[in-house]
């Protein structure tokens, strides 16, 4: 089967309608990753003034969730620099990303580093991070959240599920695992070039638990069940559902460490922090407080619309009315199923800090 390039999606549009900021669940694990980023900002070697300090945000999307971590890193840097030393932030994503929305948010949102520190500057790169996209030795601090989950290339449609983690087909699982290993290797290799000597990169992405669990089971069950309902009602065909594929993978701790074996170094990088843990399900936390099952279902359905439905709708072609109907039915079906039996979602997350050697 021919390989198909993945158009990494912007998180700014869905179903032809503009979306606002990412849903709350997208911030799972953010606080602890921000602490790692602040720690990196406190210790990374800095250029002497007047040269700018460069922060790169890999897979920025709308930029909304990057504001807090970057503002925190800038505040930590300010403990070491004069207020006038410039910080240049570069937000990277694929060319399809809605950079207009991103720049607007960065200019207007009170959480934005631009509003908090007058010596910060913003810029963007519209290219895949599976290649070198910034000059060698130019980046002092790197940040990447919830972006590496997405493969650069889809090996094949999955067929028996929308997510390879839940496929029963060994050949398909092996092909996706090879692609995931390749993508991680490339991502690390190119960041190894871009980071300055002593530079640090904080990565947060979806993971597999030690038991191989990708998590989000009740959500995936609700999606698969709703799809079956739509097939029964001839809203979509069984063939279309077979083609629906999410180009996403989780990785185990060992998968993240693989490019660094056996020496512990790769492209002058080493891992100074690697942790896989179950992040808090903030939507279930909210449900515990308000006992509002409908809101629980709707929040998860919103999350799904934001992160997955565009990819699934690709199997339906370009007819905007069909796509809209699909979005509405999926959202309602997922929300109703989850509201009927609210359950905590397991959310395996990986957090890493990579550090570049200072010299040689």
DSSP-derived 3-state class of residue 195: strand
Q: Which is nearer to ligand SAM, 191 or 240 (CB)?
A: 191
Size of the site for ligand SAM (CB under 6 A): 24
* Cα atoms in the 13 Å half-sphere on the side-chain side of 110: 0
CB of 30 to ligand SAM, least distance (A): 8
What φ, ψ does residue 124 adopt, rounded to 5°?
Answer: -150, 155
Judge residue 39's burial from the number of C-beta atoms within 10 Å of its C-beta, 0-12 exposed, 13-18 middle, 19 or more buried.
middle
Binding mask 221-240 for ligand SAM (x = CB under 6 A): --------------------
Closer CB to ligand SAM, 147 or 282, in the complex: 147
Alpha helix positions (H), the chain: 30-43, 67-78, 99-108, 113-116, 170-194, 217-232, 238-243, 253-257, 282-290, 293-307, 309-313, 320-340
With CB under 6 A as the contact rule, the residue among 8, 14, 206, 227 that binds ligand SAM is 8
Please state the closest distance from residue 68 (CB atom) to ligand SAM, in A: 10
**CA pair distance 176, 44, nearest whole angstrom:** 35
Comparison of 8 and 208: residue with beta carbon closer to ligand SAM: 8
Contact positions with ligand SAM (CB under 6 A) in 45-104: 59-61, 65-66, 92-94, 97
Q: Which of 143, 147, 134 is nearest to 71 (CA)?
A: 143
In the complex, the smallest distance separating the C-beta of residue 308 from ligand SAM, rounded to whole angstroms, is 10
Q: Least distance (Å) from ligand SAM to the CB of residue 310?
A: 11
C-beta separation of 61 from 10 below 8 A: yes
CB of 150 to ligand SAM, least distance (A): 4
Judged by beta carbon, residue 203 or residue 236, the one nearer ligand SAM is 203
Q: What's the distance, CA 73 to chain centroid?
A: 19
Dist. CA 100–CA 102, nearest whole Å: 5
One symbol per residue from 127 to 146: x for binding ligand SAM (CB under 6 A), - otherwise; what is it? Answer: -xxx--------------xx
Q: Residue 189 Cβ, how far from ligand SAM at the closest point, in Å?
A: 14
Contact call for residue 147 and ligand SAM (CB under 6 A): yes
Handedness of CA 115, 56, 95, 1 (dihedral sign): negative
Residues 6+ apart with CB under 8 A from 346: 209, 213, 215, 216, 217, 278, 281
CB of 171 to ligand SAM, least distance (A): 25
- Could you say which of 142, 152, 209, 215 contacts ligand SAM (CB under 6 A)? 152
Task: Tell me how far apart the alpha carbons of residues 66 and 226 are, in angstroms, rounded to a whole number.
Answer: 33
With binding defined as CB under 6 A, does residue 113 bind ligand SAM? Answer: no
What mask of x and - would describe binding to ligand SAM in positions 280 to 309, judged by CB under 6 A?
A: ---------------------------x--
Helix extents (H) in 247-292? 253-257, 282-290
Q: 207 vs 339, which CB is nearer to ligand SAM?
A: 207
Sign (positive or negative) of CA dihedral 78, 144, 202, 262 = negative
Per the structure block, which two tokens stand in for 234?
A: 């001839």
CB neighbourhood size of 316 (10 A): 17
* C-alpha to C-alpha distance for 127 and 178, rounded to whole angstroms: 23
Q: Could you give the string, one character per residue 12-51, with x where binding to ligand SAM holds by CB under 6 A and - elsewhere?
A: ----------x---x-------------------------
- Our finding on whether 184 is near ligand SAM (CB under 6 A) is no
- Contacts with ligand SAM by CB under 6 A lie at 8-11, 22, 26, 59-61, 65-66, 92-94, 97, 128-130, 145-147, 150, 152, 307
């Amino acid at each position: 089967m021919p390989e198909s390039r993945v158009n990494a999606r912007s998180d700014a549009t869905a179903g032809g309608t503009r979306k606002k900021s990412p849903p709350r669940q997208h911030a799972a694990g953010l606080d602890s990753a921000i602490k790692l980023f602040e720690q990196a900002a406190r210790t990374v070697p800095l250029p002497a003034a007047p040269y700018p300090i460069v922060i790169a945000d890999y897979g920025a999307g709308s930029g909304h969730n990057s504001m807090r971590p970057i503002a925190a890193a800038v505040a930590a840097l300010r403990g070491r620099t004069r207020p006038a030393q410039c910080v240049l932030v570069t937000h990277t994503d694929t060319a399809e990303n809605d950079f207009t929305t991103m720049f607007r948010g960065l200019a207007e949102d009170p959480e934005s580093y631009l509003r908090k520190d007058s010596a910060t500057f913003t810029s963007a790169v519209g290219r895949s991070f599976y290649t070198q996209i910034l000059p060698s030795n130019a980046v002092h601090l790197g940040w990447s959240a919830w972006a590496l989950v997405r493969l650069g290339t889809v090996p094949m449609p999955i067929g028996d599920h929308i997510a390879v983690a839940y496929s029963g087909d060994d050949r398909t699982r092996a092909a996706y695992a090879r692609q995931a290993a390749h993508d991680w290797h490339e991502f690390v290799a190119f960041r190894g070039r871009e980071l300055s000597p002593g530079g640090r990169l904080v990565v947060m992405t979806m993971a597999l638990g030690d038991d191989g669990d990708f998590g989000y089971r009740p959500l995936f069950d609700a999606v698969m069940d709703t799809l079956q309902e739509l097939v029964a009602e001839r809203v979509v065909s069984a063939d279309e559902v077979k083609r629906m594929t999410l180009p996403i993978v989780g990785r185990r701790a060992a998968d993240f460490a693989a490019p660094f074996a056996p020496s512990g170094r790769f492209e002058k990088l080493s891992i100074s922090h690697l942790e896989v843990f179950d992040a808090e399900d903030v939507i279930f936390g909210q449900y515990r407080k308000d006992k509002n099952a409908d809101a629980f279902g709707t929040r998860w359905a919103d999350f799904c619309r934001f992160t997955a439905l565009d990819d699934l709708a690709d199997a339906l072609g370009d007819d905007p009315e069909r796509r809209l109907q699909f979005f509405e039915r999926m959202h309602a079906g997922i929300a109703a199923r989850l509201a009927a039996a609210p359950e905590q979602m397991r959310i395996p997350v990986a957090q890493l800090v990579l550090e570049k050697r200072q010299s040689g």
